[in-house]
Amino acid sequence: MDIHLTRSDVAGTARAPPSKSYTHRALLAAGYSDGATVASPLVSADTKATARAVTAFGGSVTPEKGGADDLAAADSLVVEGFGGRPSVPADVIDCANSGTTTRLVTATAALADGGTVLTGDSSLRSRPQGPLLDALDELGVRAESTRGNGQAPLVVFGPLSGGDVAIPGDVSSQYVTALLMAGAVTDDGIEVSLTTALKSAPYVDITLELLDEFGITADPIGSETAAGAEGFVVPGGQTYAPEDGRYEVPGDFSSISYLVAAGAVAADPDDAVRIEGARPSAQGDAAIVDIADRMGATIDWDRENGIITVERSALSGVAVDVGDTPDLLPTIATLGAVADGDTRITNCEHVRYKETDRVAAMAEELEKLGAETTEERDVLTIHGSESDLRGATVDGRADHRIVMSLAVAALAAEGTTTIRGGEHVDVSFPDFFETMAELGARVER
């Protein structure tokens, strides 16, 4: 689907969608339990893939109210769990475009007493899973890539009893999350040693926070938080059970970043963009508030009430390390294209292994809009002073974060921008373009 977005001023109040990262983990944690309700979930293409996996392992996911197929309209989802003992799926698990689903449920599959096959779309089948397969193999589980290249389709034969394992931390933090979530219900527990420094550490903090909410003990080794940890340990024989059988998903700061950026580059000069649902949590992407502030944005975060207010501002380039916040790179790159001076995004090689190579994608698509960029393997520099954004046709690369970031850039570009693949926002922010239109953006499908 093509989206046509014309330079616009935006203002008013928008509500952040629920967190995709928390929803994935909450649905799977509820699956590991005897049953739990997940309140305020993000129901998107990716989280539906996790719900399908829970069902494939013997659980079920249905709306608390409404028809069984109407997940998208549900305020809460009731998960009938498989009590830590997943069944062998009757069919292949299709993870679609969800890398999070693939990695998390690969470890779930290792618990089943038999074989599980996992696959997905062409993008997912190009993403690295090898370190997780190697870790499961080290733990005594047969875990293979059918093509022998460390990528899906994957075949996993359990059962997993636990043990000690070493894994790199600089490819995907989701490998650690997968092992911790599954390890809690093994007989022996799992101790994970990191062979390289952990990137995207806040995402493991999200996991630790959520596990605690579900009554699971899991701890970093050598640090109070995931950052700087030498590894992680989770005792076995535990039971997933949130207090009162219910868990509420917080707002999503990855999605909030696009609304913050829209306000900073295109808010009505006499008004502001206000974002509700921005309550503090372990999400590393809350760093967008500090990044926007450092760039000169007029921004205020009322943490108690969960409201961010941001005004159009004269921005200046800064240096940002995205080692722990890879999903912010597209947003920061867009802000850099509007700012004066250079915005230098460092420590970003791992961002090349997402739904697409997001480093190259943002460099190439912003250049179509008139931005000047310099791309290195681990650094992306946006030369804002040399950029003059004008409407053009750009490719969203079948990647929700690329699409939304380019939409923000279009707000500041002279004329009309056509974004190909606009439907991919369904992965994390299904109502993104409706929200932008409500704020005053001139959007046509």
Task: Assess contact for 71 and 51: CB atoms under 8 A.
Answer: yes
Q: 151 labelled as ligand-binding?
A: no
Which structural domain range is residue 372 located in?
A: 2-17+250-444
Same domain assignment for residues 401 and 290: yes
The predicted pLDDT at position 69 comes to: 59
Q: 20 labelled as ligand-binding?
A: yes
Q: 442 labelled as ligand-binding?
A: no
Q: 222 labelled as ligand-binding?
A: no
- Choose the final residue of a domain: 185, 203, 233: 233
Same domain assignment for residues 224 and 301: no
Same domain assignment for residues 410 and 272: yes
- Our count of domains for the chain comes to 2
The predicted pLDDT at position 48 comes to: 95
Tell me whether residue 245 is in a domain. no
Closest CA to 230 of 161, 172, 176: 176
* Phi, psi of 404, rounded to the nearest 5 degrees: -70, -35
Task: Assess contact for 404 and 389: CB atoms under 8 A.
Answer: no
Q: 85 labelled as ligand-binding?
A: no
Same domain assignment for residues 344 and 219: no
- Choose the final residue of a domain: 233, 267, 300: 233
The DSSP annotation for 202-223 comes to HHHHHHHHHHHHTT---EEESS
Task: Assess contact for 247 and 214: CB atoms under 8 A.
Answer: yes
The predicted pLDDT at position 74 comes to: 82
Same domain assignment for residues 214 and 303: no
Q: 302 labelled as ligand-binding?
A: no
The predicted pLDDT at position 66 comes to: 56
Q: 293 labelled as ligand-binding?
A: no
Catalytic residue among 46, 327, 395, 399: 327
Tell me whether residue 240 is in a domain. no
Q: 401 labelled as ligand-binding?
A: yes
Tell me whether residue 271 is in a domain. yes
User: Helix or strand or coil: residue 344?
Assistant: strand
Task: Assess contact for 323 and 294: CB atoms under 8 A.
Answer: no
Question: What is the Cα–Cα distance from 6 to 295, expressed in whole angstroms?
Answer: 25
Per-residue pLDDT 10s for the chain (445 aa) are: 999 999 999 999 999 899 999 999 999 999 999 999 999 999 999 999 999 999 999 999 999 875 555 687 788 999 999 999 999 999 999 999 999 999 999 999 999 999 999 999 999 999 999 999 999 999 999 999 999 999 999 999 999 999 999 999 999 999 999 999 999 999 999 999 999 999 999 999 999 999 999 999 999 999 999 999 999 999 999 999 999 999 999 999 999 999 999 999 999 999 999 999 999 999 999 999 999 999 999 999 999 999 999 999 999 999 999 999 999 999 999 999 999 999 999 999 999 999 999 999 999 999 999 999 999 999 999 999 999 999 999 999 999 999 999 999 999 999 999 999 999 999 999 999 999 999 999 999 9
Contacts of 286 (CB under 8 A, 6+ apart): 253, 278, 280
Contacts of 391 (CB under 8 A, 6+ apart): 6, 7, 369, 410, 413, 414, 415, 416, 417, 418
Has 327 been annotated as catalytic?
yes
Same domain assignment for residues 293 and 432: yes
Task: Assess contact for 309 and 285: CB atoms under 8 A.
Answer: no
* Phi, psi of 291, rounded to the nearest 5 degrees: -65, -45
The predicted pLDDT at position 72 comes to: 75
Tell me whether residue 241 is in a domain. no
Q: What is the pTM of this model?
A: 0.85
